[in-house]
Amino acid sequence: MTDKYYVGLMSGTSLDGVDAVVLSFSCPDKPQLVACKYQPFNDLLKQELLALNSSGFNEIVRSALAANLLSRLYATSIDALLAECGLHACDITAIGCHGQTIRHRPDLGFTVQIANASLLAELAGITVVSDFRSRDIAAGGQGAPLVPAFHQAMFAHPDLHRVVVNIGGISNLTDLPPSGPVTGFDCGPGNLLMDAWTQHHTGQSYDKNGEWAATGVLIPDLFHAMLQHPFLAQRPPKSTGRDTFNLPWLESLLLPVYTPADVQATLNELAARCIIDAIDLYCHSAKEVYLCGGGVHNLTLNRRLQQLSGNRLVSMSDDFGIGADWVEAAAFAWLARQTMLGVPGNLPAVTGAAGSRVLGAIHTV
């Protein structure tokens, strides 16, 4: 066994499906993306994972069964991924499996990502590293975001101040100054509220290209009411999720006169402003902004980010050889390698943990 290939798995708060990648560490300082695969959730699994974000009947049994279904989907995705690039299970050192977040309450000292890592190890025949967030939370941290250490390894420049923004269900950023500590935090809702509102009113799982949002106009009263959420004023370190930003929260702010398209346009503006306000406040000298995550496909959101960014360069992670859709999955391949080498994977300046920690639990074959 060589320490060359790792698999990374990510299924995020957008609840669209599984991103799977193979990362090569032939050159450890500059890992390369070898292959990538997307496997969508079926409607039943997606609805169950969404439902498990709230307390409900028999939820312990239901979460265990969902974890098994999810792990079988992970295994299927890995089989297809390896077949596509001509690799075999014996070529892979480990799988980095983030699991599916159904609760994230660092304020109460816990986080829950469901997956049956032992089952995945059995099905894939590959060692699995999972449960990355818990150790950081045990050390007093937020447990998220965990990707900034990977962003530092892949995107930092010795002379240029860069920011990497991941637009998933929740948006998070990594500040990469040429000198000084790397920092990062969750900015606020990315796709999460827009997807929920689109599903509620159109039956579609997301607003393709932001086309529906483009038909609406900003509702100033609603926009300013959303900006009053305490999370947005909270200073980093901070992280959030569906526990905080969800459809019931949005609906508590709505008035009957608001049209659905105008609400969608306002949610699009909220997503853009959460990102830009965070950059302006905490990374004001940044010259370059690189986007990744599913939100990059929302052209209406992208245009607004460009407009609000002033003279900053705004581009995609693709410029560095990792497509915007695959950065988070690649990060968990990288984090799995850190764990297998016994090297810390968190950044205390990002999460607020008491110190650097080796993350994750290892399920050997």
Same domain, residue pair 289 and 182: yes
Same domain, residue pair 45 and 162: no
**Which residue is associated with the tokens 């939820």?**
59
Q: What are the DSSP E strand ranges found in the chain?
A: 5-10, 17-24, 32-40, 92-97, 100-105, 110-114, 128-130, 162-167, 170-176, 183-189, 288-292, 313-316, 361-363
Q: Is the pTM of this model over 0.95?
A: no
Same domain, residue pair 88 and 153: no
Classified as helix, coil or strand, 104 is: strand
Same domain, residue pair 209 and 71: no
Query: How confident is the model over 239-272, as pLDDT tens digits?
Result: 999 999 999 999 999 999 999 999 999 999 999 9
Report the run of H or E that residue 276 belongs to, with start and end.
Answer: helix 260-282
Rounded to whole angstroms, the Cα distance separating 8 from 335 reads 9
Same domain, residue pair 179 and 63: no
- pLDDT score at 2: 67
- pLDDT score at 14: 84
Same domain, residue pair 186 and 133: no
Same domain, residue pair 164 and 297: yes
Which CATH number do you get for residue 91?
A: 3.30.420.40
| Number of residues in the chain | 365
Same domain, residue pair 10 and 127: yes
Same domain, residue pair 200 and 247: yes
**Six-digit token string for 255:** 């008035």
Same domain, residue pair 236 and 137: no
Same domain, residue pair 295 and 332: no
- pLDDT score at 12: 86
Residues of the chain whose pLDDT is less than 70? 1-2
- Domain limits at 262? 148-320
Q: Domain tally for the chain?
A: 2
Same domain, residue pair 73 and 112: yes
